[in-house]
Each structure stands twice: as structure tokens, then as C-alpha cells.
Chain A
Amino acid sequence: MSLFLLAGAFMAVMHLGQGTRDGNLSPTLILGFLLLGAYCVGFLTWRLGFPWITGYIIAGLLMGPHVFGWIPLNALNDLRFLNSLALAFIAFSAGGELRLNCIRDRFKSILFLTTGVALVVFLGVSMTIYFLTPHLLFSQGWNPATRLLVSAIFGVIAVARSPSSTIAIICETRAKGSYTDTSLSVTVATDVLIIMLFAVVVSIGETALFQGKALRFGFFFQLLLEIGSAFLLGFLLAKAIVFLIRNLKVEFPVVIAGMGFLVIKFSHLLGEYLQEAYRIGLDLEPLLICMAAGFTVQNFSKHGEQFLAEMESVSLPIYVSFFAFTGATIDLKTLESAWLLGLVLVVSRAILMFVGANVSGRLAGDDRRIYANVWMAFITQAGVSLGLLTEVVRRFPEFGLEIQSILISAITINQVIGPVLFKMGLKRVGEIPKM
């Protein structure tokens, strides 16, 4: 009923409305509509047994510029800051959910799963794409070096997962247990691994294999320096967070979300400044900083649980707007043009995840209940994968656009089916408490 009322009012206003001074729909209206509408659709999908976030994504897709067009493209661009804000918030939560005692107990399993699954998926997807490219229209005329680079890029992006979706499902279902801890730990650890792997692949691609430049071995040290700096900044940020927890009561969650947003903005600005002023190429990864901060607060202060509780108290509007926004940015035309190849990628990735998880789990001597089902937690892809893809398109315009549509269609499919599979996995292992 609320949904009909909401939709009716919005459509009426689109006909009658005056618009803002520059003629566009009011961003306040769009955001309010997005929040309430996505929540209502999420409720409907939950009643059908699917995760809430599937509903948020579907709501965004329907409301977005590519289906009903209730939220125009320029309005989405105006709301892009929400994405950054939400990603930072989610990164804080992801770091805060990693408890050292749980990681210690399951360290071997987490290590094996992280490296094992990443290796299997990376190699498997890369080889699949490498052998497919001679038969595809858009890759005709590519030399072996280009095919190798493109395959490696597909492999890296295939490894990437979505900590945001993982956390959202865990919060929604209130799941607890070793399967939950393992899934989250491996997903977050993979995020750190993927940044390094991506940097290696891109650097090799830009140098010896593609642009004929000499490979700079100093780049590995630079990478280590960047990751080290991110952890250090995260530690300092954690100190500020602890101060705020002690002194702010009501405004804390909003301030933290804002802080994360600022970290994202300033880290890019700082990198540019260092490059221009001191010729230091330091590319700080803001999500890593936020994750490190959350991790430090959880494990090296007395306020870990309070921190998580405060974050959780305002998490719902942030998750709803983030996933609805993600859904609204799904371009159905792109999906239509490359869905078959995207599906091939999705299926091969899922199979490789399954194989990798089972092999790694057995080698680690893990519980069968976990390694047989943990692959379901790794299917979802969202912001991180899209962020990497944007970077690929920027650095390799020669083939970036061609592969973009395939990867977007694969990521989109994974975005929709991933949460469903993860929830299924949680149910199978019995870690969702009965309400």
C-alpha cells in the first residue's frame, strides 16, 4: 500500500512539479523516494524468501533511468557522493567485524581459502578468456600480449568480491558462527589481496607486455609502501574514532560516515598533491584505510562492540541507498548486448569458486560443512569490481570499452544472484537464528 502511494505521489509530482532552479527534480525528493521505495521492495522480496538487498537492487533498477526512468541519469550523478559515503561506511564496518580471536582460531582456513580460491579463480578465468578471445568478434586482431593482459584483467576482476553485500546479508539475517566468520574474513582479506594483484597485473601490462616500457621493480616497493601507509593512516584514524566514541553520543554514526567520505576524497587529493609537489607517486587506497581503522578500533581498543553497535544503528538507510543506487546504475542495454558472454563468465567463475573452496578447505583440514558451502558467499560482486573496471577503462582505452560491457553484465548478474546464494549457504549450515 505504501509502495503504491509512494509511486503514485512521485509520478504525480513528475507531471506537476516545478523542478529545482536548474529544472531538475529535487535531489531531496529523489533520495526520499529511493529510501522508502527500496525499503518497500526489499520487504516484498524478503516475504518471497530472498534477501532484502536483492529487493533494494531491483527497486533501484526499476526506478532508475534504464527502466521506468523515475530517477533520471543526471540525478544519479548528483547522488554519486552517496556511493562514496556508503563505501566508506561499509569499509569501517567490514574492518570492525574482523575479530582477531576469530581470525586466530580459523587462521589456517582463512589463509588457505583466501589464497587458494583467488589462485584457482584467477588462473581458471584467465585461461578461459585467453582461449575464448580468438573466437570473439571484438578481439579479432589482438596480439597474444594483449590477449594475455585482457585475460589477466578478467581473472583479477573475477577474484573481486563484495564485502558490502556480505556484511549486509550478515546484518539482515543476524547470522553467527564459523561459516559466517570465515566468509567475511576471506572476503575482506581478498579485498586487500585484489588491490595488490590488480596493481601487479596493470603494472606488468603497462610496461613489458603492452607499452614496451621496462618493468620497474621499484614499483613493488611502492605498492608495499602504499599499503603500509594505508594501514598507518587507518591506525591514526582509529585513534580519532575512539576519541569521538568517548565524546559524541548522538552524532557519532553520522560523523563517522562523514569521516569516511572525507577519507575517500582527501586520499585522492593527497595523492595528486604529492605527485605535483614532490613527484611522489603515492596512491592511497581509501577503503583500505577505513578497513584498517575499523579493524584497529575493534581489536585494539575497548570500544569495538560499541563502535559496531553505533554503526549498525544507522546502517539501514546507508545500505538501502547504496544498493538502490547500485541497482539504478545497472544499464540494461549493456546487459542485453553482452549477456551471453557475461553468463559464461558467471558460470565459469562459480564453478572455479566451488572447486577452489573445496580444494583449499580440504588442504586446510577444515570442516566439510564450511568448505562445501563457502563458495556461495563469494559470488556477489559490486562496488569493488566496478571500481577496478573503471580503472581498467581509464588506463587501457584501447580495449577497455570492449571488455567493459561483458564485465558489467557478469558483475550485474552476480550482484543479483550472489546475495541469494549467500543466504542459501547460511541457511544450509544453520547459522541463521530462528526469529
Chain B
Amino acid sequence: MKLLLTIVLLAVISIAGTRITFMNRRLPLGFRSILLTGTEYIFIGLALGGSGLDLLDGETRHQLWPFLIFGLAWIGFLFGLQFEFRQLKKIPHRFLRLSAFQSAMTFAVVSGSMVWYLGCVHPDLGSRIVLVSMMLGAIASCTAQSALAIVSRRLKISKAGALELLRFISSIDGIFAIGLFGLVVLIFPPEEGGWMIQATDPWVWLMHIGIFLVSGLVPALIVVLLTRVRFSQMELILFIVGGVMFAGGLAQELAQAPLIAGFLMGVVFANLSRHRLRVMSLVLKAEKSMYIILLIILGAGWSPRFNMLIIIAGFYFLMRVLGKWTGMFAGMKLWCIEPSLANRMGLGLISDGGFSVALLISFHLLYPGWTDRFVTVIILSVFMGEFLAPGLLMKLFGSGGGVLKRNPHSAGRR
């Protein structure tokens, strides 16, 4: 009965949420970024979960696991669909290099600093500190576009090129984040309980890599083969839903991340099939609802404890900002991309967003139990990022970076 009620509630909230979220409302900029960008659903989940009404209790969340697996694979698949290599080749290489560089720099800064910091505050983790630090580094390396979207709607930016660069980097750095995440899972297989893989035999490594790839490759090939002959829209829905379910379930069985399996499936499909755009428009329709439900489930499982974790979250956030800033500064200087803005552009990539939440959920599913505390760290960091990002962007484009004019068509105008 509880499961039934929860499903109804989730369905109603997700349907209503897709209509309310991203609407223009008169709110201060920081709050505008937290509320109505999706982050509020974590609070809704918190209210429904064990810390609140207890509708979404542990048992109910466990029963919703199959849907969680499917949702993660769906999001990963959608993300992967964007990476058609033919289109990527048209992008100037220096932009790609810049994006990779800032991602790698953020990963390095955050991982390195967290190894030291967690070693001081959480020595009980032992050698798992390396796993956690690398995971946090991977999650930190991606960026969301929510703050960019809000600021560009409100304000007429004269440095459009800089804004476009930020948009490009934030849309593409997720691929590096997911790649780093996958690398960490490979080095610290979940079936080893979060300990580093001990194998010295290269065949063991190859087998692990093979299993890692199979979870996305095989479903992709099946769906590509099925879509080779003429098919109707109904059949396409069946292929995609069945394929994503298969990928997610396969990943779960092979102790891999459904998000990565879905991503690999998306990349393979995007590059082997002629129907990328058609599939993408279909998959996009359910994207918002999926994210909302994942955020609610995450919030429901969150037990906020505001102790040392606030400090860890603050430290993590600062290191993330430092990593982004350093990465963009060094990269822009190195490849001579808008060098006059190099000392500020990193501030435009602070927003975390939905993808980092998806990575967080994947992390938590793969290494359950002892990773609960880091859920709080990431969630708090996401809040901080969403709250501060628009203000930092204003500073970026305000002080000498371009003439800032209020957009006369913005709904936020008083």
C-alpha cells in the first residue's frame, strides 16, 4: 500500500515538477538558482523520507531500485547520444583540449586535497580514502548549465563569445567526469568492497575492462541491429526502453554503474545508427521526470547530519572552485583562448547540477553502506554551487569582462 501511494506521489510530483521547474519567477538570483532548478526536489525527498513523513522509507526505496537503475541508465544514454564523433570533429580542438584540461585539473586538485584532508579527519576509512577522494574528484569535474541559463536570460551579455565558451565546456565536461568515474570503478571494483584491485595479471585487467564495456556495448549493438530495418514509433519506444532496461540491468548484474552503461550505449548508438536525432527527441521527453524522481529518491535517503560534514563539504567546494579556476586559467593561457578573461572564467563553472547528482547516486549504489556521509558532502556542495554560481557569473561578466545590461525582456525585471 505504501509503495502504491509513493508511486502515485512520485508520478504527480514529477509531472507537476516538469511544468513548474525552470519557469521564470521573481526571486533573488541565488534563491532562483536553488529553487525551481531541480535542487528543491532533494528537499521534497527529504520531507518524504525517513527524516520526514517516512513515506519513502528504506524498504520502499529498495523496491524502487529497478526504477532507479532504469532512470540512471536512461540519463546516461541521453548524455551519450550527444557524442557523435562526426559532430565533435567539427569543434575546434583547442576547445576540446581546454575542456579536458580543466576537468583533469579539477579532478587532480580535488582528489589530491581530499586524500590529505580525509586522511586527517577520517582515518577510519583506511585505504578507501583514495577511492572516495578520486570519486569526489570525478564528481567535481563536471559542470551544469543552470546558472548560465538563468544569468543569460536575465542579463544581456556583451561578451557572447565567452558565454558560449562556458556553455560549450559545461555541456562537454561531463564526458570526462564519466570517464574518470569509470576509471575509478575499474581500479576499485565494487565486488572488492571498495578496495583497490590486487590483480597484477594483465588478463584480469583486460577482463574487467571487457566486462565494463560489454554492459553498454551489447545493448547498443542490439538496438542498432533492430533499428536497421524500417520501424514505427511504437517499435522505437520498445527498442529504446527495452535496450536501456537491459543495459541498466546488465550493469547491475556485473557490478558496474548503470549510468556508465547507459552512456556507453548512447555513444555507440549515436555513432553507429542513422536515427540519433529521432531517438534523442524521444529520450529527451522523459529526461526531466527522470531527474526529478532521482532527486526525490536521493533526498529521501539522505540523513542530514550537520557536523564535521559541513566542514568537509565546504572544503570540497573550495577545492572544486580552485580546481575549476586553475584549470581554466592555465588552459586558456596555454591555448590562447580569450586570455584577458583567463583569471575569471573558472568562476563561471561552479554550478554542479543534475549530472553530478546522478554520479553521486551511482557512487552510492556501487559502494553502499559506508558512503552515506559523502552523500551529504556532495548535496551541500551542490546547494552552495547553485546558490553562489549566478553571483560569480555576474562578477565575471560585470567587472571589465563586458558591458552588463539588464535584459528588457527578462521576467525578473521589476
Docked complex Cα distance between A30 and B250 (Å): 9
Verify if A5 is at the interface (C-beta below 8 Å from B). Answer: yes
State whether B250 touches A13 (Cβ < 8 A): yes
State whether A16 touches B249 (Cβ < 8 A): no
Verify if B7 is at the interface (C-beta below 8 Å from A). Answer: yes
Q: How far apart are B19's CB and chain A's nearest CB, in angstroms?
A: 9
- Please give, as numbers and ranges, the residues of chain A lying within 8 Å of B372 by CB-CB distance: none
- Please give, as numbers and ranges, the residues of chain A lying within 8 Å of B309 by CB-CB distance: none
State whether B249 touches A30 (Cβ < 8 A): yes
State whether A1 touches B249 (Cβ < 8 A): no
State whether A1 touches B69 (Cβ < 8 A): no
The residue from A21, A312, A316 contacting B235, defined by CB atoms under 8 A apart: A316
Verify if A39 is at the interface (C-beta below 8 Å from B). Answer: yes
Interface of B is mostly: helix
Of A133-141, A225-233, A247-255, A403-411, the segment with at least 4 beta carbons within 8 Å of chain B is A247-255
The residue from A27, A255, A312 contacting B249, defined by CB atoms under 8 A apart: A27
State whether A13 touches B254 (Cβ < 8 A): yes
Docked complex Cα distance between A251 and B11 (Å): 10
Docked complex Cα distance between A251 and B243 (Å): 20
Report if A17-B254 is in contact (Cβ < 8 Å); known contacts: A32-B243, A36-B246, A39-B242: yes
Q: How far apart are A47's CB and chain B's nearest CB, in angstroms?
A: 11
- Please give, as numbers and ranges, the residues of chain A lying within 8 Å of B120 by CB-CB distance: none
- Please give, as numbers and ranges, the residues of chain A lying within 8 Å of B91 by CB-CB distance: none
Verify if A350 is at the interface (C-beta below 8 Å from B). Answer: no
- Please give, as numbers and ranges, the residues of chain B lying within 8 Å of A199 by CB-CB distance: none
State whether B250 touches A255 (Cβ < 8 A): no
State whether B254 touches A16 (Cβ < 8 A): yes
Q: How far apart are A319's CB and chain B's nearest CB, in angstroms?
A: 10
State whether B249 touches A32 (Cβ < 8 A): yes
- Please give, as numbers and ranges, the residues of chain B lying within 8 Å of A315 by CB-CB distance: 234
- Please give, as numbers and ranges, the residues of chain A lying within 8 Å of B247 by CB-CB distance: 32
Q: How far apart are B44's CB and chain A's nearest CB, in angstroms?
A: 18
Report if A16-B246 is in contact (Cβ < 8 Å); known contacts: A250-B285, A251-B15: no
The residue from B62, B226, B234, B246 contacting A312, defined by CB atoms under 8 A apart: B234
- Please give, as numbers and ranges, the residues of chain B lying within 8 Å of A25 by CB-CB distance: 253
Report if A262-B4 is in contact (Cβ < 8 Å); known contacts: A5-B221, A18-B255, A20-B65: yes
State whether A313 touches B234 (Cβ < 8 A): yes
Contact residues of B between 228 and 252, Cβ < 8 Å to A: 233-235, 237-239, 241-250, 252
State whether A28 touches B285 (Cβ < 8 A): no
Docked complex Cα distance between A20 and B253 (Å): 7
State whether A35 touches B245 (Cβ < 8 A): yes
Report if A29-B11 is in contact (Cβ < 8 Å); known contacts: A5-B218, A6-B222, A313-B233: no
- Please give, as numbers and ranges, the residues of chain B lying within 8 Å of A20 by CB-CB distance: 65, 252
State whether B237 touches A26 (Cβ < 8 A): no
Against A, the Cβ 8 Å flags (1 = close, 0 = not) of B9-20 are 001000100000
State whether B15 touches A248 (Cβ < 8 A): yes
Residue on A with the closest CB to B252? A26
Q: How far apart are B212's CB and chain A's nearest CB, in angstroms?
A: 12
Q: How far apart are A90's CB and chain B's nearest CB, in angstroms?
A: 15
- Please give, as numbers and ranges, the residues of chain A lying within 8 Å of B73 by CB-CB distance: 28
Verify if B27 is at the interface (C-beta below 8 Å from A). Answer: no
Docked complex Cα distance between A248 and B285 (Å): 12
Residue on A with the closest CB to B236? A316
Residue on B with the closest CB to A14? B253
Against B, the Cβ 8 Å flags (1 = close, 0 = not) of A303-322 are 00000000011111100100
Verify if B289 is at the interface (C-beta below 8 Å from A). Answer: yes
State whether A251 touches B254 (Cβ < 8 A): no
Verify if B338 is at the interface (C-beta below 8 Å from A). Answer: no
Verify if A269 is at the interface (C-beta below 8 Å from B). Answer: yes
State whether A17 touches B253 (Cβ < 8 A): yes
- Please give, as numbers and ranges, the residues of chain B lying within 8 Å of A40 by CB-CB distance: 226
Verify if B384 is at the interface (C-beta below 8 Å from A). Answer: no
Verify if B411 is at the interface (C-beta below 8 Å from A). Answer: no
Docked complex Cα distance between A312 and B289 (Å): 22
Residue on B with the closest CB to A252? B15
State whether B238 touches A258 (Cβ < 8 A): no
Residue on B with the closest CB to A29? B249
The residue from A5, A27, A248, A251 contacting B222, defined by CB atoms under 8 A apart: A5
- Please give, as numbers and ranges, the residues of chain A lying within 8 Å of B272 by CB-CB distance: none
State whether B225 touches A5 (Cβ < 8 A): yes
Verify if A33 is at the interface (C-beta below 8 Å from B). Answer: yes
- Please give, as numbers and ranges, the residues of chain A lying within 8 Å of B242 by CB-CB distance: 31-32, 35-36, 39, 317
Against B, the Cβ 8 Å flags (1 = close, 0 = not) of A256-287 are 00100010010001000000000000000000
State whether A18 touches B191 (Cβ < 8 A): yes
- Please give, as numbers and ranges, the residues of chain B lying within 8 Å of A21 by CB-CB distance: 62
Against A, the Cβ 8 Å flags (1 = close, 0 = not) of B169-198 are 000000000000000000000010000000
State whether A9 touches B249 (Cβ < 8 A): no
Q: How far apart are B248's CB and chain A's nearest CB, in angstroms?
A: 5
Q: How far apart are B253's CB and chain A's nearest CB, in angstroms?
A: 4
Docked complex Cα distance between A35 and B254 (Å): 20
State whether A316 touches B249 (Cβ < 8 A): no
Docked complex Cα distance between A75 and B62 (Å): 16
- Please give, as numbers and ranges, the residues of chain A lying within 8 Å of B191 by CB-CB distance: 18
- Please give, as numbers and ranges, the residues of chain A lying within 8 Å of B1 by CB-CB distance: 269
* Residue of A17, A36, A40 with highest tally of chain B CB at under 10 A: A36
State whether A18 touches B254 (Cβ < 8 A): yes
Docked complex Cα distance between A269 and B4 (Å): 12
State whether B249 touches A31 (Cβ < 8 A): yes
Verify if B211 is at the interface (C-beta below 8 Å from A). Answer: yes
Contact residues of B between 252 and 300, Cβ < 8 Å to A: 252-255, 285-286, 289
Verify if B330 is at the interface (C-beta below 8 Å from A). Answer: no
Contact residues of B between 204 and 218, Cβ < 8 Å to A: 211, 214, 218
The residue from A1, A258, A317 contacting B237, defined by CB atoms under 8 A apart: A317
Residue on A with the closest CB to B225? A2
Against B, the Cβ 8 Å flags (1 = close, 0 = not) of A283-303 are 000000000000000000000
State whether A9 touches B214 (Cβ < 8 A): yes
Q: How far apart are A433's CB and chain B's nearest CB, in angstroms?
A: 15
Residue on A with the closest CB to B247? A32
Verify if B121 is at the interface (C-beta below 8 Å from A). Answer: no
A-B contact pairs, 30 of them (CB 8 A): A1-B225, A5-B218, A5-B222, A6-B246, A9-B214, A12-B214, A13-B250, A13-B254, A16-B253, A18-B254, A18-B255, A26-B69, A27-B66, A28-B245, A28-B249, A30-B249, A32-B243, A32-B244, A32-B248, A32-B250, A36-B222, A36-B238, A36-B239, A39-B238, A258-B8, A269-B1, A312-B234, A313-B233, A315-B234, A317-B237
Residue ranges of B at the interface with A (Cβ–Cβ < 8 Å): 1, 4, 7-8, 11, 15, 62, 65-66, 69-70, 73, 191, 211, 214, 218-219, 221-222, 225-226, 233-235, 237-239, 241-250, 252-255, 285-286, 289
Apart from A17-B254, A316-B237, A317-B238, list 7 A-B contacts with CB within 8 A: A9-B214, A13-B254, A18-B252, A28-B245, A32-B219, A32-B243, A36-B239
Q: Which 10 A-B pairs have the closest CB atoms?
A: A29-B249, A32-B245, A32-B246, A35-B242, A17-B253, A28-B249, A26-B249, A316-B234, A36-B242, A2-B225
